[in-house]
Structure 1
Amino acid sequence: MKSITYGEISFNKVCEKIKEYTEKDSEFEYVISVGTDSQSVDGYTKVVSVIALVRKSKGGIFFYDIKKVKNMKSLKQKILKETQYSIELASKVMDYILENDINASLEVHVDIGHQGETKYLIKEIAGWVMALGFKCCLKPDSYTSSGIADKITKKGSKVC
């Protein structure tokens, strides 16, 4: 994974940073969100998964991973793959949270909403995420996928 603050960082180090961050100011409420976005570029699809940790009313940090996969042309295929990556990453984060008694809620952010081309996928995608025990956030509340990850997927992004 990568971080603007810490550079290249292993998933285990990401988890350690989450623990340090949440223990620093334990009176605050923390939300960990996981989201993925993708963008087709130059014959492949750039997939960015993000773990964001927000200290409510006091900022946050995020970590991201970039994958290049075979070009996905179908919008439904992209959304399903993004959700799959987010669920897999959220599951690993949840295991760490539970093992280390970290006081933070965990959300999966998906890049779909009630407006636009993806609204027909809401029942299917949100149902999948919630059936696995995660809180599912849609646009406009899915800032990790539709905000952070989206910006990193864009060609020319300074974060890479």
Structure 2
Amino acid sequence: MKSITYGELSFDGVCEIIKEYTSKDLEVDYVISVGTDSQNMDNYTKMVSVIALVRKGKGGIFFYDIKKLKRIRNIRQKIFRETQDSIELATKVMEFLNNNSIHASLEVHVDIGNNGETKHLIKEIAGWVVGSGFRCCLKPEAYTSTGIADKISKRGSRVC
């Protein structure tokens, strides 16, 4: 994974930073959200997964991972792949939080909402996320997928 602040990191390195960050102020609430967005480029799909850690009212940090996949042309398949990657990453984060007694709410942010061509996927995708044990956030609340991951996934992003 990568971070603007910390550079290139392993997943274990990300977890250590989460542990350190959440131990600095035990009086505030922490929200960890995981989201993925993708963009089709010339001959591939750029898939960006993000872990965002917010110290409510006091800012936050994020980490991201970029994958190049065989071009995914179907919107349903793209949304399912984004959701799958987010659930897998959130599951790893949840395991780390539980094993280290870190108290933070954990959400999965999906790039779908009540408007647009993905609205018919809401019940299916939200049910999958909730059934996997996570709170599901949709547009416009899904800032990790629709904001951070979306910006990094765009052509010309300076974060890459």
TM over 0.5, shorter chain = yes
2:88 matched residue in structure 1:
88
Please give the alpha-carbon distance, in whole angstroms, between the structure 2 residues aligned to 1:140 and 1:57: 19
TM superposition shift of 1:2: 0.1
TM superposition shift of 1:134: 0.4
Segments of structure 2 that go 5 or more residues without pairing to the other structure are: none
1:114 matched residue in structure 2:
114
Please give the alpha-carbon distance, in whole angstroms, between the structure 2 residues aligned to 1:95 and 1:101: 10
Q: Does 1:125 align with 2:125?
A: yes
2:150 matched residue in structure 1:
150
Please give the alpha-carbon distance, in whole angstroms, between the structure 1 residues aligned to 2:115 and 2:36: 19
Q: Which amino acid aligns with 1:97?
A: L
TM superposition shift of 1:83: 0.1
1:6 matched residue in structure 2:
6
Q: Secondary structure at the match of 2:137?
A: strand
Please give the alpha-carbon distance, in whole angstroms, between the structure 2 residues aligned to 1:8 and 1:37: 20
Q: Deviation per CA, 1:18-54, whole angstroms, max 9, x where unpaired?
A: 0100000111100000000000001100000000000
2:102 matched residue in structure 1:
102
TM-score by length of 2: 0.99
Segments of structure 1 that go 5 or more residues without pairing to the other structure are: none
TM superposition shift of 1:84: 0.2
TM superposition shift of 1:133: 0.8
2:27 matched residue in structure 1:
27
Aligned residues: 160
Please give the alpha-carbon distance, in whole angstroms, between the structure 2 residues aligned to 1:40 and 1:140: 22
Q: Does 1:53 align with 2:48?
A: no
Please give the alpha-carbon distance, in whole angstroms, between the structure 1 residues aligned to 2:55 and 2:117: 32
Q: List, as ranges, runs of 4+ consecutive aligned residues in structure 1 with deviation greater than 2 Å.
A: none
As a proportion of its length, which structure holds more strand?
A: 1
Q: Secondary structure at the match of 1:139?
A: coil
Q: Secondary structure at the match of 1:58?
A: coil
User: What is the identity percentage for the equivalent residue pairs of Structure 1 and Structure 2?
Assistant: 73
2:71 matched residue in structure 1:
71
Q: Which amino acid aligns with 2:12?
A: N
* RMSD, aligned α-carbons: 0.4
